[in-house]
Amino acid sequence: MNGVARTFCVHALKTPLIQSGDDLAAVLSDAAARSTASGIQDGDIIVVAESPVATAEGSAVVLEGVVPSARALELASRYRMDPRVTEVVLQGSDEVVGGIDGFLLSMVHGTLLPNAGVDLSNTPPGTALPLPEDSDRSAARLRKALQDRTGVRIGVIVADSRTHAMRLGCSSVAIGCAGIQAVIDERGKKDLFGMELHVTQRAVADNIASAAVLLMGETDESVPAALVRGLGIPIDDVSGVPAIDAAECLFMGVALRQMREEKKE
């Protein structure tokens, strides 16, 4: 980010209900043309929620056909969950480190997530919706399809709602990113008083996702995406959202170690 932009605009992209197999690039391109953005322009960033991405990719699981394992039955009883949902969560988890009533705390690709990110909202009744299998790949694929349709260079962010430690409510984070640097390293730069920064890295993609979700909403708005214009972020053929191991996280490290110690006892 070059620091020149002082204003930017976020445009809601309202769409019909996304179905399995839909051409998401076509749906979003048409929505952008109908929106206040009047189409997709060079340098725009498209933020799309993970639910329509996973739905279009055919990831929704029909619970009626799920056979819970013995582990799923045990965890469902302990945490008062539907055993079928518990099984879907287990299949999407690298590890389950604990839980509370209604939720398992899962490790997924180095990130701690409630119920492995499996969603029971914004998916048809009787189904559960796991996260996209590879959100960075989904972002890169959607970016290419949109660029092929429009002839312009853009960034794409796949966003998900998350809760944060000691905070009430949900905000949005980037779980997939293509076309822009998701995190910008500020280490080595100076602050207002000439002190060198040793830790600061700006979560640019997360911040953009949070701005977009103000228009996208969380319920029945039918706004699964937003177009962000005017940030002046360089567009490049990069992809990926960097992550750290939970054990190295300032907030999660201690809790995770304690959970694992309790499991050993």
Ordered DSSP codes for 50-93: HHHHHHHTT--EEGGG----HHHHHHHHHHT--HHHHHHHHHT-
In the predicted structure, residue 260 carries a pLDDT above the cut 70: no
In the predicted structure, residue 264 carries a pLDDT above the cut 80: no
Average the pLDDT over 194-208 and give the result: 87
* Torsion angle (degrees, nearest 10) of CA 136, 59, 151, 40: -90
Do 30 and 160 belong together in one domain?
A: yes
CB crowding 193-205: b at 16 or more within 10 Å, else e: eeeeeeeeeebbb
Q: Residues 2-60: pLDDT tens digits?
A: 455 679 999 999 999 999 999 999 999 999 999 999 999 999 999 999 999 999 999 99
* Residue 159 CA: distances (Å) to CA of 10, 56, 121, 172: 15, 15, 15, 6
114 beta partners: 105
Q: pLDDT grade, residue 244 (50/70/90)?
A: confident
Residues in contact with 133: Cβ distance below 8 Å, sequence separation at least 6, in sequence order: 57, 59
Q: pLDDT grade, residue 243 (50/70/90)?
A: confident
Q: pLDDT grade, residue 202 (50/70/90)?
A: confident
Average the pLDDT over 58-75 and give the result: 96
The amino acid sitting at 244 is I
Do 28 and 92 belong together in one domain?
A: no
Identify the residue with better confidence: 83 or 259: 83
Structural domain span for residue 82:
61-128
Check residue 217 and give left, alpha or beta (phi > 0: left; psi -120 to 50: alpha).
left
Do 93 and 182 belong together in one domain?
A: no
Do 168 and 200 belong together in one domain?
A: yes
CA distance 67 to 233: 47
* Residue 62, pLDDT score: 97
Identify the residue with better confidence: 186 or 215: 215
CA distance 154 to 40: 8
* Residue 40, pLDDT score: 98
Do 19 and 77 belong together in one domain?
A: no
Burial of 176 (0-12, 13-18, 19+ CB in 10 A): buried
CA distance 255 to 61: 31
Do 26 and 151 belong together in one domain?
A: yes
The mean of the pLDDT values for the chain is 89
CA distance 229 to 104: 38
CATH of the domain at 105: 3.90.1660.10
* Residue 108, pLDDT score: 84
Q: Residues 131-177: pLDDT tens digits?
A: 999 999 999 999 999 999 999 999 999 999 877 777 787 888 899 99
Query: In this structure, is residue 229 part of a structural domain?
Result: yes
Number of structural domains in the chain: 2
Q: To the nearest whole percent, how much of the chain has pLDDT over 70? A: 89
Do 152 and 104 belong together in one domain?
A: no
Average the pLDDT over 233-241 and give the result: 91
